[in-house]
Amino acid sequence: MPEVVLTGAAGRIEGRYSPGKKDTAPIALILHGHPKAMGQMNNPVPVQLFHLFMKRGFATLRFNFRGVGRSQGEFDSGVGELADAATALDWLQTNNPTASQCWVAGFDFGAWIGMQLLMRRPETDGFISVSPPTNMYDFSFLAPCPASGLILHGSNDTVVPPVEVERVVSKLRTQKGIVIDYDLVEGASHFWAENLPDVEQRVGDYLDKRIAARPI
């Protein structure tokens, strides 16, 4: 799996990239959890998301936000991290100019950054948000949400109570033309330690459904 180095506003951005299986392969950007809570691109959930897209032929990139691993810079409370994500998506698009679709997937803090990114990038076709921290960050910017997607959460999440996520889901579902799938996994915690197979199955099934409706 090729290691790549991108140049961001804070300096070097460390990433891992898997090219698509054909020139028109869709692209997917994977965003990791909170940098101040040991979040990094090699955590289990981001790696799982990466492989789910990669196995389906997507050109897929995951990377470390500024100040994480070998990425330069310091934690910037989301502002700089959103700039890092935009830089990474620019890189993906430049290297895949004929991509048929564009997807953004994030876990925890990365889900918040990913949702902000898709608000700024109308070319985004779909998103995956795993354990979005809706009780810690303001998600009201999703008005309207520009793309359909999946929100995956655990019923035993003590970091972000499911009721907080359901509040955001209910708001998003009032929009016409946008379909928000909400999947609550019984017994799963915030970090999915015992439930990674559920992430694989639920996200995989959702991607397969979307690809069947719009082949890549």
Q: Structural domain boundaries of the chain?
A: 3-213
This prediction has a pTM of 0.97
Q: Is the dihedral of CA 36, 42, 44, 46 positive or negative?
A: positive
Taking the C-alpha atoms of 104, 34, 156 and 184 in order, what is their torsion angle to the nearest 10 degrees?
-10
Region 145-150: mean pLDDT is 94
Region 31-35: mean pLDDT is 98
Give tens-digit pLDDT for 76-106.
999 999 999 999 999 999 999 999 999 999 9
pLDDT at residue number 121: 94
Query: pLDDT band at residue 56, thresholds of 50, 70 and 90?
Result: very high
Give me the chain's average pLDDT, please.
96
pLDDT above 70: residue 71: yes
pLDDT above 80: residue 1: no
Q: Is the dihedral of CA 76, 71, 50, 101 positive or negative?
A: positive
**Topology of domain 3-213, CATH:** Rossmann fold (3.40.50)
pLDDT at residue number 115: 97
pLDDT at residue number 216: 83
Cβ-contact 146, 104 below 8 angstroms: no
pLDDT at residue number 189: 98
Number of H helices, E strands in the chain: 5, 8
For 145-173, letters b (16+ CB in 10 Å) and e give bbbbbbbbbbeebeebebebbeebbebbe
pLDDT above 90: residue 144: no
Q: Residue 64 gets which letter from DSSP? A: P
Which amino acid is present at 6? L
Region 159-165: mean pLDDT is 98
**What CA–CA distance (Å, rounded) separates 112 from 160?**
13
pLDDT above 90: residue 175: no
